Amino acid sequence: MCRLRRYMLAVAVFGIGVVQIGRSAAADSRLPPLTPEVCRIIDREYPSLDALYKHLHTHPELSYHEEQSGARMAKELKELGFSVTEHLGGHGVVGILKNGDGPTVLVRADMDALPVVERTGLPYSSKVRVRDKEGNEVGVMHACGHDIHMTCWIGTARVLTSMKDRWKGTLVFIGQPAEEVGAGARMMLDDGLFKKFPRPDYALALHCDSFRPHGTIAFTEGLALANVDSVDILVKGKGGHGSAPHTTIDPIVLAARIVLDLQTLVSRETNPTDPAVVSVGSIHGGSKHNIIPNEVKLQITVRSTKDSVRKNLLDGIKRIAEAAAAGAGAPAPVVTVHPEEFTPALLNEPKLTRRITGLFRELLGDDNVTERPPVMGGEDFSRYGRAGVPIFMYFLGTQAPEKVAAAEKEGKSLPSLHSDSFAPVTEPTIKTGVLTMSQAVLSLMGK
């Protein structure tokens, strides 16, 4: 793609729109000066990057099990001259490349996949099946684009090592495990990421966006993503025969009451101007039509953007569950909040965000770099920000523009992240990711 139009304006190069056809990027003063050189390297490396992406896509691994993915990322960095440490915080990878005095910049890619059976129909679709921690057989798919993230990460490393005469400082490239369960960043920090290795002045990451056209970037300054908590409730009752409910304490009815009462936490106990979500994603109880069980299990996701709201929601869940049980004369429920899977809200540092998005606008054109409102998804990249490092995560369009336009015209939604049908357009998505991340790092470390 970089070579297709002989280094025209980046917006034309990336197929976003034809702008000033025939005019080279090198001749356009609005583009960062290293754009042609970066594009040449991307063109040279793209065939192997495409092969790497397809390998990663067909060999996904669940959270906490990223052994082969981590090994491949480590191998790629070693071949580029990085000093590499493996198995930090599980299967985490840290690559260090020092190139004189200058800023220290961290670039992160997450490596884990999801328990999803892929239904994209792609020739390189995942056929992997494994047992999850409960012993159930599940499919495994990179349904959140982490294979794109890893590929762009390696592509960026190749660009930067090919241009060592153009920057000074220290690169810290981390391959992070267990993002999907909100644990990987915490595990790497707890294992000494910022103590055993150079502490970054800046931390950067990109993330796939399943709704935006390729060649475009979206970002949010400040609050971008929410606090995310996982809560389990074990609702206890007294089992018995379905024909004699008066001799039992029915935990299914009790669970239903709890589910309904939980909705008031958002609708009646949270300020309407404060975003909040309490969603019961799983209910399991009972084994047969005519048996009232002893217990029912609920699994809940809780989203908030303020720590004070988060506390009120978590306290409220426990209060509501216990009150419902007391009202039914049932044993006290067991309410478990999983701190190991807590993902704090992500706040992009404003000054860094403006600096990098200004560069992106020069690179891709104003129309292709858009601000998006905060969403209630979560991302544990936020933890590096909470550790005191200025962070910036941006969102990479992955879909064919005509497909996006058709969906908008028809009022339909494209497959979302975590969908079994999410299928990013690899080229030019990967090239856009490598170009933007490489230029972002060069802008922070350039001579």
Q: Is residue 111 exposed (0-12), middle (13-18) or buried (19+ Cβ within 10 Å)?
A: buried
Task: For residue 189, give Cα distances in angstroms to 30, 99, 346, 360, 385.
Answer: 39, 24, 16, 30, 12
Cα 429 to Cα 385: distance, rounded to the nearest angstrom = 26
Where do the domains of the chain lie, and which CATH numbers do they carry?
40-225+345-445 (3.40.630.10), 227-341 (3.30.70.360)
User: pLDDT per position in the chain (447 positions), as tens?
Assistant: 454 333 334 444 444 332 222 234 434 556 788 899 999 999 999 999 999 999 999 999 999 999 999 999 999 999 999 999 999 999 999 999 999 999 999 999 999 999 999 999 999 999 999 998 889 899 999 999 999 999 999 999 999 999 999 999 999 999 999 999 999 999 999 999 999 999 999 999 999 999 999 999 999 999 999 999 999 999 999 999 999 999 999 999 999 999 999 999 999 999 999 999 999 999 999 999 999 999 999 999 999 999 999 999 999 999 999 999 999 999 999 999 999 989 999 999 999 999 999 999 999 999 999 999 999 999 999 999 999 999 999 999 999 999 999 999 999 999 999 999 999 999 999 999 999 999 999 999 987
DSSP state of 20: S
Q: Which residues contact residue 390 at a Cβ distance below 8 angstroms, ignoring those fewer than 6 apart?
A: 201, 202, 203, 349, 351, 352
Tokens 């976003």 map to which residue? 16
DSSP state of 62: B
Tokens 């060999």 map to which residue? 59
Q: Which residues contact residue 382 at a Cβ distance below 8 angstroms, ignoring those fewer than 6 apart?
A: 185, 225, 343, 344, 345, 346, 347, 391
Cα 128 to Cα 55: distance, rounded to the nearest angstrom = 12
Residue 270: CB atoms within 10 A of its CB come to 19
Cα 95 to Cα 112: distance, rounded to the nearest angstrom = 18
Residue 378: CB atoms within 10 A of its CB come to 23
Q: Is residue 282 exposed (0-12), middle (13-18) or buried (19+ Cβ within 10 Å)?
A: exposed
Cα 183 to Cα 90: distance, rounded to the nearest angstrom = 10
Cα 67 to Cα 48: distance, rounded to the nearest angstrom = 21
330 in Cβ contact with 238 (< 8 Å) = yes
Q: Is 192 left (phi over 0), alpha (psi -120 to 50) or beta?
A: left
Query: Which tokens belong to 95?
Result: 């690559």
Query: Which tokens belong to 268?
Result: 């009646």
Q: Answer yes or no: pTM beyond 0.75.
A: yes
Helix (H) / strand (E) element for 326: namely helix 307-328
Query: Which tokens belong to 317?
Result: 């869940």
Q: Nearest-5° angle of CA 88, CA 90, CA 94?
A: 30
- In degrees rounded to 5, what are phi and psi of residue 443? -70, -25
34 in Cβ contact with 167 (< 8 Å) = no
182 in Cβ contact with 341 (< 8 Å) = yes
Catalytic residues: 112, 179
**DSSP codes of every residue in 112-178:** -BBS----S--TT----EEE-TTS-EEE-B-TTSHHHHHHHHHHHHHHHHHTGGGB-EEEEEEEE--
Closest listed residue to residue 186, CA positions, set 8, 40, 380, 338: 380
